[in-house]
Structure 1
Amino acid sequence: MDGSLLDIAEVARRSGLTPSALRFYEKKGLIAAAGRNGLRRTYHPDVLERLGLITCARSAGFSVAEIGRFLVARPSDADLRVGMAAKARDLDEQIGRLTRLRDSLRHAAVCDHEPIVECPDFKRAVGNVPAPAAAQAGPAR
């Protein structure tokens, strides 16, 4: 095996992903194996950077299909750029909600009010954490 290539087990170890996840991403076209060493896939080391991007995007709520489109995006792809801007706005809203939640939890961790949930500062902070859009819409009919 070429000394610069990484075995699938090594890529899994370094990326924190399972070999089955690597095979899934390969099947979906997000990564590509460089070849095989016997029955085991091998990858160029730069696959780790791509997997880092994929992992980050997945944790931000991107679908595999969205990631696939993003990975092949060109500056001329206006529709994709509009989608990326919308996703960035969604992430800003999520970050705001999580920041407010984090701040209220930090307050609760040091609050002396009995019970904590009745603390006016905690209530005010929690009241500033809007529900996700799906929860605000109410039950589906």
Structure 2
Amino acid sequence: MALAPELSVGEVARRSGLAVSTLHFYESKGLIASRRTGGNQRRYMRGVLRRIAIIRIAQRAGIPLEEIKQTFAAIPPDRAPSIREWERAMCRWTETLQQRIDDLTDLRDKLFNCIGCGCLSVTQCPLRNRDDKLAAEGPGPRILITAAERRRRKRTG
């Protein structure tokens, strides 16, 4: 029994586990595409299921939809990416994901000593900013930002 080459919006929603409204949203953002039948019903090529899976995994990893869209820009929206296209996308995302991993690991390691007492005033706390001396360097969590910037420069050489 041959599979139909196209799926209705309801079938895509059921197979992907997404709400129909989410599929419409993805389509409005140019992440997926459908064609319209004579009765104005959406029809999706089967490859859209793989594309949706990639979008969901990327979102779960914290990659913004705009970055996903840019990555998919070279791939026609009515089909799944080829292995080569997928590898190119992963090369783009690898650096972003590694930076997030490094930042989260650094945050976890630096916050560990503070969790026990609930304050940032202990002498050995790596986030301590006595007398707000770091305010002169700029806004935000300067210690964490500075450490992340050092790691980034070290990797890019």
**TM-score range, shorter-chain basis?**
0.5 to 0.7
What's the CA shift for 1:54?
2.4
Q: Which amino acid aligns with 2:42?
A: R
Name the TM-score, length of structure 1 as normaliser: 0.53
> 1:66 aligned to 2:71?
yes
Alpha carbons 1:12, 1:19 under 8 Å: kept: yes
Secondary structure of 1:88's counterpart equals: helix
Aligned length: 121
Counterpart-to-counterpart distance in 1, 2:108 and 2:92: 24
- Contact 1:35 1:43 (C-alpha < 8 Å) held by counterparts: no
Residues 114 and 125, structure 2, Cα contact 8 Å, conserved in 1: no
31-40 or 48-57: bigger deviation: 31-40
Secondary structure, in 3 states, of the residue corresponding to 2:144? coil
Paired position in structure 1 for 2:44: 43
Give the Cα–Cα distance (whole angstroms) in 2 for the partners of residues 65 and 8 of structure 1. Answer: 24
TM-superposed CA distance for 1:42, in Å, is 2.5
Change beyond 3 A, Cα 1:74–1:18: closer
Structure 2: any 5+ residue segments left out of the alignment? Answer: 129-140, 150-157
Could you report, residue by residue, the CA deviation over 1:18-52 in whole angstroms, capped at 9, with x for unpaired residues? 14323225xx3x43436548332132444222112
Whichever residue aligns with residue 120 of structure 2, its letter is V
Counterparts of 1:105 and 1:12, CA distance in 2: 41
Q: 1:15 to 1:107 in 2, by over 3 A?
A: farther
CA 1:32–1:127 in structure 2 vs 1: closer, same or farther (change >3 Å)?
Answer: closer
Q: Which one of the candidate residues 92, 104, 115 is aligned to 1:98?
A: 104
State how far apart, in whole Å, the 2-side matches of 1:48 and 1:73 are.
14
Aligned-residue Cα RMSD (Å) equals 4.3
**Equivalent pair of 1:100/1:128 in contact (CA under 8 Å):** no
Check if 1:20 corresponds to 2:16: no
CA drift at 1:96: 0.5
Partner amino acid, structure 1, of 2:74: R
TM-score (norm 2): 0.49
- Sequence identity, in percent? 23
**What residue number does 1:33 align with?**
34
Note if contact 2:33-2:44 (Cα within 8 Å) is conserved in structure 1: yes
Query: What's the secondary structure of 1:118's corresponding residue?
Result: coil
- Indicate if the aligned counterparts of 1:6 and 1:44 stay in contact, CA closer than 8 A: yes
Please list every run of 5 or more consecutive structure 1 residues that lacks an aligned counterpart in the other structure: 134-141
How far off is 1:94 after superposition?
1.9
Given residue 39 of structure 1, which amino acid in structure 2 is its aligned partner? N
Between the aligned partners of 2:54 and 2:111, the Cα distance in structure 1 is 29
